[in-house]
Amino acid sequence: MDEQTNRLGSGVRSRRSERVDGGDAVSLAESYTEMTELLLPNDTNNLGRALGGAVLHWMDICGAIASMRFSSRQCVTASMDHVDFISPIDLGEVAVIEGFVFNTGETSVDVKVDVRAENPQTGEHRETTTSFFTFVALDGSGRPTAVPDVECPTDEEAALREAAVEDRRAQLEDVAARLD
C-alpha cells in the first residue's frame, strides 16, 4: 500500500487494490485532493482576473480526481450546484483548489470543492468560491457502478463532513429563497 500525505493527517493508507469492487467504506481523507494553478494571462479577463470558466474547469478537475481516488473508478460529472464568485483571483496569484468526498449514493459521489487565492510573495490568501459537485462512478463498460460509503475515522474528518453537509443544505436553501 502506498502512503499519501495531506492536510488531514501525516499519512493516509491507500486501499485502492482492496476496493475495486466498490465494497468497503472509504475514509474522507483518502479522497482529499489539492491542486494549484498559477494564474497566467491566458486564463484572465481584460481586468487581469481569472475567467470564471477557467475556475469552474479547475474545480471540476479537482472534484473528478477526488471522486476517482475515493471510488477507484472512472467518474463523470453529473451536476454542479450553485456558484458565487465572492473574490477575484488576480494575475500572478496562485489558485488553490481543494476537494473531498463528503457523501455518497448508490453510484454517486458528492464532492465539496473550495477555491482560494494566494499571493505567492506574501503568503496571504482569501476564499474565492465554493461549490458542490456530484459525480457518477462508471464500470469498465461505461455503466454506473456501486461506490463505497464514506467513513470518518477522525474527529477532523467528521467535522469536515458535517460542515460540508450543512453548507450544502444552507446553500440550497439560499438558492431556493432567491427563486421565491
> Cell for 10?
501525516
Q: Report how far apart, in Å, the C-alpha atoms of 90 and of each of 46, 47, 87, 116, 136 are.
A: 11, 9, 10, 11, 33
Name the architecture of domain 3-179.
Roll (3.10)
Other C-beta atoms closer than 10 Å to the C-beta of 134 total: 19
Q: What is the pLDDT of residue 35?
A: 98
Q: What is the pLDDT of residue 10?
A: 41
Q: What is the pLDDT of residue 24?
A: 84
pLDDT of the chain along its 180 residues, tens only? Answer: 344 445 565 444 444 434 444 458 999 999 999 999 999 999 999 999 999 999 999 999 999 999 999 999 999 999 999 898 999 999 999 999 999 999 999 999 999 999 999 999 999 999 999 999 999 999 999 999 999 999 999 999 999 999 999 999 998 898 889 888
CA angle 51–56–58, rounded 5-degree value: 100
Q: Report how far apart, in Å, the C-alpha atoms of 34 and of each of 23, 25, 46, 115 are.
A: 25, 22, 28, 10
Q: What is the pLDDT of residue 175?
A: 86
3-state secondary structure of 151: strand
Domain ranges of the chain: 3-179
Distance, CA of 81 to CA of 59 (rounded, Å): 12
What are the tens digits of pLDDT across the range 70-116?
Answer: 999 999 999 999 898 999 999 999 999 999 999 999 999 999 999 99
Q: What is the pLDDT of residue 23?
A: 54
Q: Greatest CA span in the chain, whole angstroms? A: 51
Q: What is the pLDDT of residue 180?
A: 82
Q: What is the pLDDT of residue 9?
A: 53
Q: Report how far apart, in Å, the C-alpha atoms of 53 and of each of 42, 45, 50, 85, 179 are.
A: 12, 10, 8, 11, 24
Q: What is the pLDDT of residue 30?
A: 97
Q: What is the pLDDT of residue 79?
A: 97
3-state secondary structure of 147: coil
